[in-house]
């Protein structure tokens, strides 16, 4: 049996699996750490460990669609969410799950997140909400797709931001970590005082850099192919940046499609030809 040292040890057993299993493995969501994501995770960890302040510091992570914001949100949830083993935990809530249409709905989801689902009444007395927050060990809240707040009437957007201002101030002093598209800045424009509490971090498009080559090498190591593909080579890097326009989601789709073709056609490595054909999802 080959060693398959180019594949992560935890995934080497997949290389000799049946075709269907390998194709499923290629399409799995896998987390690959990279500098900006690592920076965000470290900032979040720092916010959770910081002493309580009258006005908690907050973080806004924004970028174009497909740049990995939701994957980063899921990583935050896995590491610090209410189901994690972290001592300082975060309530995590995606506005795609509801709350984007009105202040009342948003407030219900915020209360639900901060009470572990026990309450959803926007009029819940502050002492009850505070006891829940402390009892659950919640030291912060992460909100994904904050840009969805623009679906609310203007008056409700201001009320939603006022609610975030309230929970990030005393006695709650909960840091808010918000993620979304560039439209989040339009949301923040409704409440300048709240906007000043947010440190900004942007997820820019990928380019031909050592960080990108390192990401590709790490991603390649998760693919159950029998031979190395050298995705970090100059020609492949250039192709992927141009074909994907630097959008992470596009890149991952192109590579996974090419990996599926490599399995179906018994090529067992990703070539430029397969990457070119990977612009379209293969039939499998």
232-262 tens-digit pLDDT: 999 999 999 999 999 999 999 999 999 999 9
| Whether the Cβ atoms of residue 169 and residue 56 lie closer than 8 Å to each other | yes
| Alpha-carbon dihedral sign for residues 146, 140, 124, 113 | positive
Residue 46 and residue 21 share a domain: no
Is 40 found in the same domain as 142? yes
Model confidence, pTM = 0.91
Residues 54 and 117 occupy one common structural domain: yes
Q: Are residue 100 and residue 240 in the same domain, yes or no? A: no
For the chain, the domain total comes to 2
Bigger pLDDT: 61 vs 3: 61
Task: Tell whether 235 is covered by a domain.
Answer: yes
Q: What percent of the chain has pLDDT over 90?
A: 94
> Per-residue pLDDT for 281 more than 80?
yes
The pLDDT of residue 9: 94
CA 230/CA 236 separation, integer angstroms: 8
Query: Do 45 and 169 fall within a single domain?
Result: yes
CATH assignment of the domain containing 126: 3.40.50.300
Same domain? 190 vs 266: no
Residue ending a domain, choose from 168, 203, 238? 203
For the segment 164-177, the average pLDDT, to the nearest whole number, is 97
Distance CA 159, CA 194 (A): 11
What's the mean pLDDT in 190-209? 93
What whole-number distance in Å separates Cα of residue 105 and Cα of residue 122?
9
Range(s) of the domain holding residue 146: 35-203
How would you classify the pairing of strands 138-144 and 89-94? parallel
Are 79 and 184 contained in the same domain?
Answer: yes
Does 45 share its domain with 74?
yes
On whether both 57 and 120 belong to a single domain, the answer is: yes
Query: How far lies 149's CA from each of 66, 143, 277, in Å?
Result: 19, 11, 38
Rounded Cα distance between 233 and 140, Å, is 41
pLDDT in tens, 53-91: 999 999 999 999 999 999 999 999 999 999 999 999 999
Q: With H, G, I as helix, E, B as strand and everything else as coil, classify residue 266.
A: coil
């Amino acid at each position: 049996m080959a060693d398959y040292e180019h594949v992560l040890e935890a995934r080497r057993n997949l290389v000799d699996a049946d075709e269907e299993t390998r194709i499923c493995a290629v399409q799995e969501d896998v987390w690959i750490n990279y500098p900006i994501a690592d920076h965000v995770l470290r900032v979040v960890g720092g916010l959770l460990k910081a002493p309580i302040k009258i006005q908690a510091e907050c973080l806004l992570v924004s970028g174009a669609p497909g740049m990995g914001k939701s994957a980063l949100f899921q990583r935050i949830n896995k590491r610090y969410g209410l189901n994690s083993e972290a001592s300082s935990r975060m309530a995590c809530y995606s506005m795609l799950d509801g709350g984007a249409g009105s202040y009342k709905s948003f407030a219900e989801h915020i209360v639900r997140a901060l009470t572990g689902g026990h309450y959803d009444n926007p009029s819940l007395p502050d002492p009850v909400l505070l006891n829940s927050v402390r009892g659950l060990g919640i030291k912060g809240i992460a909100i994904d797709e904050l840009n969805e707040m623009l679906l609310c009437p203007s008056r409700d957007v201001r009320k939603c931001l006022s609610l975030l201002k309230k929970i990030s101030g005393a006695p709650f002093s909960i840091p808010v970590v918000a993620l979304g598209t560039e439209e989040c800045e339009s949301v923040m424009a409704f409440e300048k005082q709240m906007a000043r509490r947010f440190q900004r971090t942007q997820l820019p498009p990928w380019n031909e850099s050592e960080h990108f080559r390192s990401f590709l090498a790490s991603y390649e190591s998760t693919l159950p192919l029998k031979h190395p593909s050298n995705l970090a080579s100059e020609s492949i890097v250039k192709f992927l940046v141009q074909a994907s326009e630097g959008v992470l989601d596009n890149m991952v789709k192109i590579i996974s499609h090419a990996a599926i073709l490599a399995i179906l056609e018994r090529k067992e490595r990703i070539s430029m030809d397969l990457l070119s054909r990977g612009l379209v999802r293969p039939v499998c």
